[in-house]
Structure 1
């Protein structure tokens, strides 16, 4: 995922000559993109969090409990968790964060939501990118949703009681006036946006500096020996680095250009996209959830392991299908 969805990414430019010029170019480019990205985030977070704050104040938000309880209960989350999940799936991580900052989830529930959302978000936009570069949209979206649910269920075993419904303040004998509710919303949203501003600037400066200095290929060379551990072909390392570190949208130029080159087998691309669909944007997304108090470990390690397991299971399924196919052919002969 990328914060800059409004402009289509372009292929990596030739890095400036020398370290200092590249450092300077990356720094200022990162500031510019960080500022644009932050304004884009504000346009999403502010109106959505405001609408949710009003729903929360009226109590209508909690009227949806019976609808979502059965599904959310399967992965040990409260009914209200369905709302940020649906928002993330259909729009973006930022929209979900705008909702999460208003609903009084526990810290453990926020952590589980972060695990789900970092795996399954922007399924239409990112699914189309992956569809155009090597895997069927319905297939990869289904894999991401199932993997997100299973991963959250596994992580929830470390945090008992996360399925408890969010308590409506009115049930505790507390019902703020509309003015107090809006003041609380404004303060919490301002705090969140300040945290996001700092994080986004740091992340974008770092990413743009890496690009300006031409270190993408160095990263690819470093990770190439580890591709086998992930169940991936070493041929796809450059695309894996682009998607894993920069996100599917931001890294789509590299991914789509490489995939269209004709140098990769269908199986290589499908395994790559399963890994990237589950585990991508490992710099920006974890940094954003830091603003909600979620440790980087929980937004990086579970989905990395989930991606490796999913790819290996896909390989085993393919090998089994091939073996049974050959056996059926020999029997019919």
Structure 2
């Protein structure tokens, strides 16, 4: 048991270092940008577009902060304004699909998935969902009643304090990562060596097959659905190296997970905003399943066509 724990600890530390190299600089830069004209400029740029998806100009603030930082930053911004239930729900749906964009998408590239694809899928789903909700939902015109949400505004004087605040935020992000990833990797190592992962993969095989993936992708899916993209990336990286997850399956898994990940935390976190949260989970999960199945079908169709063309070419050359 001690040997398994030590191997898991080593894997956890290695994974934390790998992800920390991505998370630290991005978190540092984005945190510092909050105190520069850059983020306000982006917000002003997006304000006219907000009306197209049924949102007031102020909605640009939580959307920008949520996408550049995280859900909590977006929620903190939401409670700073008076929005209707419908407006809050639209923002919650958008942020569910697309948040912490730079860190989570950059982490996803560590498993070999194109950064632009991840960002494109997430932003596309966010905008599409906002359009659809705005068109089909006529209710929610009453003001949202916010529950208790901790919110504090940091006042800093000078670039030294801003830089120190940015470094502190980045280091705390890595510490949070380590506190989740290291125990997780230790547990996974035990499960792996005890044969539990194989059993779990077999149990999830029908669902993986439905989505067009092999069963060895199951742990990647479990990690992403429970602890999210950034924290689940450790298992994804390990799966690519040790479980032989193919490029196609990793792309499909990431497409599913960018649509629906950290389902518990990223759903419950919106409860204090006074909106119905169960539709958020249903919409995200349904979208993830349908989108992944469609892309898998297209991918498989192209592969069959390519194999058929190769077979015909081989037959022609042998004549």
TM-score, normalisation: structure 1: 0.61
1:83 and 2:40 correspond: no
After the TM superposition, which of the residue ranges 211-220 and 129-138 deviates more from structure 2?
Answer: 211-220
- Cα–Cα, structure 1 residues 321 and 222, in superposed 2: closer, same or farther, change >3 Å? closer
- Residues of 2 paired with 1:327 and 1:224: CA distance? 27
Q: For the residues of structure 2 that align with 1:328 and 1:212, how far apart are their CA atoms?
A: 46
For residues 222 and 295 of structure 1, the distance between their equivalents in structure 2, rounded to whole angstroms, comes to 32
CA distance in 1, matches of 2:10, 2:260: 22
* Within-5 A mapping of 1:168-179: none
- Alpha-carbon displacement from aligned partner over 1:273-308 (angstroms, at most 9, x marks no partner): 001111101011111101112323122111111111
In structure 2, the residue matched to 1:277 is 258
Q: Note the alpha carbon deviations across 1:87-115, whole angstroms, 9 max, x for none.
A: 11111111101100011110111111111
Number of residue-to-residue matches in the alignment: 243
Give SS of 1:83's match.
helix
What does residue 140 of structure 1 align with? 118
Q: Is the 8 A contact 1:133 1:260 kept in 2?
A: no
* Aligned counterpart, 1:226: 207
Change (3 A) 1:133 1:67: closer
Residue 131 of structure 1 corresponds to 109
In structure 1, the residue corresponding to 2:81 is in which secondary structure?
coil
2:47 to 65, 68, 76: 68
* Compared CA separation, residues 316 and 221, structure 1 to 2 (3 A): closer
* 1:92 lines up with 2:70 in the alignment: yes
Does the C-alpha gap of structure 1 residues 150 and 85 become closer, same or farther in structure 2, counting only changes over 3 Å?
A: same
- Say which SS state the counterpart of residue 231 (structure 2) adopts: coil
Listed one character per residue, the Cα deviations across residues 113-161 of structure 1 (whole Å, up to 9, x for unaligned) are 1111011011111112110113111111111111121123233344227
Correspondence for 1:312 among 289, 293, 296: 293
Q: CA RMSD in A?
A: 3.9
Deviation string, structure 1 residues 240-275 (Cα, Å, up to 9, x no partner): 001111111222221211122260111010000001
Cα distance between partner residues in 2 of 1:108 and 1:227: 35
Normalized per residue, the structure richer in helix is: 2
Q: Distance in 2 between matches of 1:98 and 1:150?
A: 24
**Unaligned 5+ residue runs, structure 2?**
1-8, 14-29, 152-178
Mapping of residues 165-244 of structure 1, within 5 Å: 191-193=148-150, 217=197, 222-244=203-225
> Is residue 2:75 matched to residue 1:118?
no
In the TM superposition, what whole-angstrom CA distance separates every residue of 1:34-53 from its partner, at most 9, and x where no partner exists? xxxxxxxxxx9xxx9xx9xx
* Alpha-carbon distance between aligned partners in 1 of 2:203 and 2:55, rounded to the nearest angstrom: 38
Q: Distance in 2 between matches of 1:267 and 1:314?
A: 10
